[in-house]
């Protein structure tokens, strides 16, 4: 046991040191020391450090699930994280100061449609939120029940288009975070869009809490952080001050029901609320090390490409519980965090995942590069933001664009394609006219 403990400490220390070196090297070569690339790499350093407090605590109830660490899984994980993060790091180094604007008339039309569709969800969200908070305060098991119910509802989702407004609200929600901050960068103020997207972000955060879904709230917070850090250099100083104050109040407003929900789900376990939160934040790299590369079976894309497989007419289980039930022999399922790298490894295996990540890095680095010094076209900003979100969310969690998230990928790519086509058409006309 002693030998295993010492090797575990050594492997963990090496993993943290590798990530720390990558962070320090990037920080030394970037002008913005608190840019999105530096924050991303720093988060990769912090997760295993936080995880030490449960993994090396022999009294932790979660310690039973990971018994002995290995060397090479940590090396593989560090390499994949860095490869996936490379487009974000290049964006950071480009020191973006300007955004080549899209046709504002078209963007405003989309903004109006999305804001209206989001506002249509408010009555139901308020009802669910009030009921959820009331139940949490009077029943310590309510949070777990709410979460289970939300999972069952997702499992029984039949894919029919019964509510167009709700579908638009959900599949375009990642873009709402970016567009909120983009509108704030404009010299011409669109107050209605700023307020509208601000309300949309609040609705997205609190709608997840109403279903007992802590992770979705956390991912929304990550999206806010990514959008803010990516666009902060373009924001006026006075706007930055206002945003920081607003984010503090938002953090408090979200933290209170979040803590209540966490206590409802984990407060009665050994280790209590604090132990549960430490485990929640720091579990991913350790579970990846123990299980991800050891799996003798793979899900063949049933989680990360679920909807894409359905669209191609390929057989695939429905929903979270359907996927879990279809692969009972796997060493772990998506109820356990293993980073987005682990999600892909469990779906496709280590070799295929490495190929996918390398291709992702090459393609997105190319598609998000700048055409002029310190300037990025709007359509490339869309893809850059998507790549940042995947990496920021996935370092702690899983691949957040799985299942219905596949539809969000399609929506983002469609959004990108429309504005890319307009951008290239305008450049062609400009060159043709001399």
Q: CA dihedral defined by 248, 250, 251, 256, rounded to 10 degrees?
A: 130
Q: Is the dihedral of CA 373, 379, 383, 386 positive or negative?
A: positive
Domain count, the chain: 1
The token duo for 111 is 């903004």
CA terminus-to-terminus distance, the chain: 75
**Residue 57 pLDDT:** 83
Q: What is the pLDDT of residue 372?
A: 80
Cα angle at 386 between 358 and 379, to 5 degrees?
105
Distance CA 205, CA 191 (A): 21
Vertex 336, ends 158 and 313: CA angle to 5°?
A: 35
pLDDT at 152: 42
Cβ atoms 89, 32 nearer than 8 A? no
pLDDT of residue 266: 59
What's the pLDDT score for residue 135? Answer: 52
98 strand-pairing partners:
375
| CB-based contact 346:330 (threshold 8 Å) | yes
Backbone angles phi, psi at 375, to 5 degrees: -130, 135
CA distance 373 to 370: 7
pLDDT score of 407: 96
Find the domain containing 139 and state its range. Answer: 2-432
pLDDT tens digits in sequence order for the chain, 434 residues long? 456 889 999 999 999 999 999 999 999 988 888 999 999 999 999 999 999 998 988 777 776 677 789 999 999 999 999 999 999 999 999 989 999 999 999 999 999 999 999 999 888 877 776 655 555 544 444 444 444 444 444 444 444 334 889 999 999 999 999 999 999 999 999 999 999 999 999 998 887 776 667 788 889 999 999 999 999 999 998 888 888 888 888 888 777 777 776 666 655 555 667 788 888 899 999 999 999 998 888 999 999 999 999 999 999 998 888 999 999 989 888 889 999 999 999 999 999 999 999 999 999 999 999 878 889 999 999 999 999 999 999 999 999 999 999 999 999 999 999 999 999 999 888 888 76
Report the alpha-carbon distance of residue 229 to residue 60 in Å, rounded.
Answer: 35
Task: Report pLDDT for 256.
Answer: 73
Q: Write down the pLDDT at residue 146.
A: 43
Instruction: Give the largest Cα separation in the chain, rounded.
Output: 76
Q: Count the residues in the chain.
A: 434
pLDDT for residue 134: 53
Q: Which helix (H) or strand (E) holds 376?
A: strand 375-377
Report the C-alpha gap between 325 and 329 in whole angstroms. Answer: 9
Helix and strand element counts for the chain (H, E): 19, 2
Q: Token match 């804001």: residue?
A: 115
Query: Quick one: CA dihedral 178, 184, 189, 190, positive or negative?
Result: positive
Instruction: Give the pLDDT confidence score for residue 147 in this predicted structure.
Output: 47
pLDDT at 316: 93
């Amino acid at each position: 046991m002693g030998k295993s403990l010492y090797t575990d400490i050594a492997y963990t220390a090496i993993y943290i040191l590798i990530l720390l070196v990558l962070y320090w090297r990037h920080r030394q070569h970037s002008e913005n020391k608190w840019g999105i690339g530096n924050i991303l790499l720093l988060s990769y350093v912090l997760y295993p450090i936080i995880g030490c407090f449960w993994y090396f605590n022999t009294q932790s109830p979660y310690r039973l699930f990971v018994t002995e660490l290995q060397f090479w899984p940590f090396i593989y994980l560090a390499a994949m994280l860095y490869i996936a993060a490379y487009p974000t790091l290049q964006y950071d180094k480009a020191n973006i100061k300007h955004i080549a604007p899209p046709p504002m008339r078209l963007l405003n039309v989309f903004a109006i449609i999305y804001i209206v569709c989001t506002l249509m969800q408010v009555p139901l969200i308020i009802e669910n939120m009030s009921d959820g908070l009331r139940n949490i305060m009077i029943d310590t098991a309510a949070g777990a029940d709410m979460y289970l119910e939300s999972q069952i509802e997702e499992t029984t989702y039949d894919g029919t288009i019964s509510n167009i407004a709700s579908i638009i609200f959900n599949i375009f929600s990642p873009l709402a975070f970016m567009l909120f901050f983009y509108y704030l960068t404009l010299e011409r103020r669109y107050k209605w869009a700023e307020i509208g997207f601000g309300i949309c972000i609040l609705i997205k955060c609190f709608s997840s809490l109403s279903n007992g879904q802590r992770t979705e709230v956390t991912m929304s917070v990550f999206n806010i952080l990514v959008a803010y850090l990516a666009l902060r250099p373009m924001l006026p100083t006075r706007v930055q001050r206002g945003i920081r104050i607003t984010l503090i109040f938002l953090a408090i407003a979200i933290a209170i029901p979040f803590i209540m929900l966490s206590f409802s789900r984990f407060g009665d376990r050994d280790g209590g609320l604090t132990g549960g939160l430490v485990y929640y934040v720091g579990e991913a790299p350790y579970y990846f090390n123990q299980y991800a590369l050891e799996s003798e079976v793979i899900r063949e894309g049933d989680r990360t490409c679920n909807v894409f497989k359905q669209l191609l007419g390929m057989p695939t289980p429905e929903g979270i519980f359907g996927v879990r039930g279809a692969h009972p022999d796997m060493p772990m399922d998506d109820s356990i965090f293993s980073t987005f790298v682990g999600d892909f490894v469990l779906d496709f295996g280590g070799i295929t995942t490495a190929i996918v990540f390398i291709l992702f890095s090459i393609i997105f680095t190319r598609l998000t590069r700048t055409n002029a010094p310190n300037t990025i076209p709007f359509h490339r900003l869309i893809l850059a933001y998507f790549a940042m979100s995947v990496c920021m969310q996935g370092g702690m969690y899983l691949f957040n664009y799985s299942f219905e998230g596949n539809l969000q990928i399609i929506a983002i790519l469609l959004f990108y394609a429309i504005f890319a086509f307009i951008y290239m058409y305008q450049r062609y006309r400009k060159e043709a006219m001399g």
